[in-house]
Amino acid sequence: MTPFGTRLHAAMAERGRLCVGVDPHAALLREWGLDDDVAGLERFALTTVEALAPICAVLKPQSAFFERFGSRGVAVLERVVLEARAAGALVLLDIKRGDIGSTSQAYADAYLDPASPLACDAVTLSPYLGLGSLDPFVETARRHGAGVFLLALTSNKEGAEVQHAVGADGLRVADRVLAHLSALNEGAEPLGSFGAVVGATISAPVTGPAFDLDFGGPVLAPGFGAQGGTVADLQRIFGSSSAHVLASSSRDVLRLGPDPVAMAEAVHGLHDQLAVLA
């Protein structure tokens, strides 16, 4: 199977550098005039897929908003993954899992093995049980041509206390995560399959050098758009690596639903803004 990094590189060249989150939280369902139940969830999610999957490089369902409805919500998530991929979008499932041993392998099988009804193109992971704990995900991703995105430098104010922490060897935690990704992506062309999550609104570190974001893989940059991130921010943060950035936005697009035309027009407008990163 063609590696995820190769497929993502082609999708961004063809469809632009925007990832749209599919985040059916209760407040947004109400804004759409929907009830906060499985029927409302289904209409919201499938309307979004129908409007956006044919024109977006990547859709990013947030698993938690489906899981809160139990098995019926997960069944809707399965349809979202299937129909989005059938329409040509890559699906990055936002799960932020992180575990060890056989449990880590079970999660990897659930989300990256094509035999699973939840199989998608890539997932988000937390590396904070140790980078070696992610080996089952890495090996499963390689075997099935899938990808992973590790939380590296997030925009939430609490993130820095862990991600900027300095170890006994003088390396910051985020430096170690980024170096690990660089090793995983070694030799991959045109783009590695192992990416990082780096917020579109992060500030420069208070102490120490800038983080090296040239690690040969893609960057998911949440916070673009309504949360304050701009194209100028992406250029400031990523510099020469900005061509590998997949900017993620949800609210700017989803708040225009359930009108599919308005949602699609918003995506095209964001594509135009991001074109300078190519």
Q: Which of 25, 79, 96, 164 is catalytic?
A: 96
**Is residue 157 among the annotated active site residues?**
no
Structure token pair of residue 22? 């599919």
Closest C-alpha to 138, from 90, 176, 114, 105? 105
Q: What whole-number distance in Å separates Cα of residue 159 and Cα of residue 241?
A: 22
Given the structure tokens 């800038």, which residue do they identify? Answer: 210
Catalytic residues: 96
